[in-house]
Amino acid sequence: MLEWFIPPVLVTAAALVPNKRLTKWEFNKKHLYNGSWLVPIGKKRKVMYHNFEHYPHLLIGGTTRFGKTVALKGIFASLLLSNSKHVRLIILDLKGGLEFSKYQNLPQVLTVASDLLEACKALDYVYKLIKAEEERYRQNGWTNISETPIKERTFIIVDESAELSPKLVNKEFKKYAELAQIYLGEIARIGGGLGYRLIMATQYPTREAVPMQVKMNMVARLAFRIADGTGSRVILDETGAEELEPVPGRAIYKLAQSHEIQCPYISDKMIGGYLDEIREDRRDIIDHR
Ligand SMILES: Nc1ncnc2c1ncn2[C@@H]1O[C@H](COP(=O)(O)OP(=O)(O)OP(=O)(O)O)[C@@H](O)[C@H]1O
């Protein structure tokens, strides 16, 4: 029943665009599948899942305050709760580390980078891991992680990819941003088959913030409300996100088809509660650092 409760903060939006579908629904661990890489991405009558085994990378875009960071936190919590023993997380929290640095002591979180230089270092680390994995795959005759006994998956979460754009950073940081672009391109191109998953979010749906060599390897897209059709095309390759109702959490999730969904709401307090639960189970968690 709670799913149909419209909080006061949304009443204004509801008045602007009367719509019976207006909902807010809360993240709940009962929606998770233990041991899987399925993440509840939103609801369209039923809960829809993003399967990171089928679609390793996810591009997220949308105007400020419509739910990108909340969506990233929902994915983060889902991965930790469903697969706490096998998930590894590298987080580029380029909003100054304000959102994710509180989670950096979790054993599953390898690093939280909060500026361009730290991000470059983290991406360099991931790139070296991928190169070493490639060699291991060659030696074993493997072509894809699905053929291997490897259970670990490494997620690289980027909150505000525009901060890594050579065209958008100050001149003295340009070379670092260029390097970051090369790494991101390689992670998107070859990382997927080796168990590396890139989740990249931006509030600037432009070619500078979402470079083509990264985007073309990211099949799955999630667009919150975007100012115009041009921005929508950058994220979704089609218009539509500019016509979404101005409701936080409302988004278009696109694989082969587009679906209008309401993303789950999760707060830091809720994540904190869940983490207390998994801390009980810490003895089983391998510290990867
Ligand atoms: N799925 C959701 N359901 C209901 N409300 C939401 C949802 N996602 C976000 N909100 C509301 O919108 C606010 C802004 O969300 P969020 O911080 O994720 O936006 P953002 O797109 O990351 O913004 P910015 O680009 O400025 O960082 C949240 O504090 C919350 O109140």
Determine, yes or no, domain membership for 288.
no
Relative to beta strand 220-224, strand 250-254 is: antiparallel
- Model ipTM? 0.98
68 annotated binding-site participant: yes
pLDDT at residue 15 is higher than 50: no
**Can you give the pLDDT at residue 45?**
86
Residue among 89, 80, 57, 56 nearest 288 (CA): 89
Determine, yes or no, domain membership for 286.
no
Whether residue 65 has its Cβ less than 6 Å from ligand 1: yes
The residues near 207 (Cβ < 8 Å, ≥ 6 apart) are 234
Whole domain around residue 206: which residue ranges? 2-47+54-281
pLDDT at residue 215 is higher than 80: yes
pLDDT at residue 7 is higher than 90: no
Convert the pLDDT of each residue in 58-77 to its tens digit.
999 999 999 999 999 999 99
pLDDT at residue 8 is higher than 70: no
Determine, yes or no, domain membership for 289.
no
Instruction: Report the separation in Å between the CA atom of 69 and the middle of ligand 1, taken as the mean of its atom positions.
Output: 6
Instruction: Report the separation in Å between the CA atom of 25 and the middle of ligand 1, taken as the mean of its atom positions.
Output: 13
Determine, yes or no, domain membership for 181.
yes
Determine, yes or no, domain membership for 287.
no
The residues near 212 (Cβ < 8 Å, ≥ 6 apart) are none
Mean pLDDT over 178-185 rounds to 96
Determine, yes or no, domain membership for 154.
yes
Instruction: Report the separation in Å between the CA atom of 51 and the middle of ligand 1, taken as the mean of its atom positions.
Output: 23
pLDDT tier for residue 13 given thresholds of 50, 70 and 90: very low
> In the chain, how many domains are there?
1
**Can you give the pLDDT at residue 277?**
81
Whether residue 213 has its Cβ less than 6 Å from ligand 1: no
Q: pTM to 2 decimals? A: 0.90
For the domain that residue 162 is a member of, what is the CATH number? 3.40.50.300
Give the type of residue at 60.
I
The residues near 164 (Cβ < 8 Å, ≥ 6 apart) are 92, 94, 116, 119, 158, 177, 180, 181, 184
CA 69 to CA 91: how far, in whole Å? 12
Token pair for 144? 């894809």
64 annotated binding-site participant: yes
List beta partners, residue 261. 251
Phi-psi region of 15 (alpha: psi -120 to 50; beta: other; left: phi over 0): alpha
pLDDT tier for residue 276 given thresholds of 50, 70 and 90: confident
Whether residue 249 has its Cβ less than 6 Å from ligand 1: yes
Convert the pLDDT of each residue in 91-106 to its tens digit.
999 998 899 999 999 9
Token pair for 42? 């939103």
Stretch among 10-19, 32-41, 235-244 having the lowest mean pLDDT: 10-19
pLDDT at residue 6 is higher than 90: no
Residue in 69, 94, 270 to alter for ligand 1 test, most ligand atoms within 8 A of Cβ: 69
CA 231 to CA 238: how far, in whole Å? 9
CA 150 to CA 154: how far, in whole Å? 11
Nearest CA, atom 18, ligand 1? 67
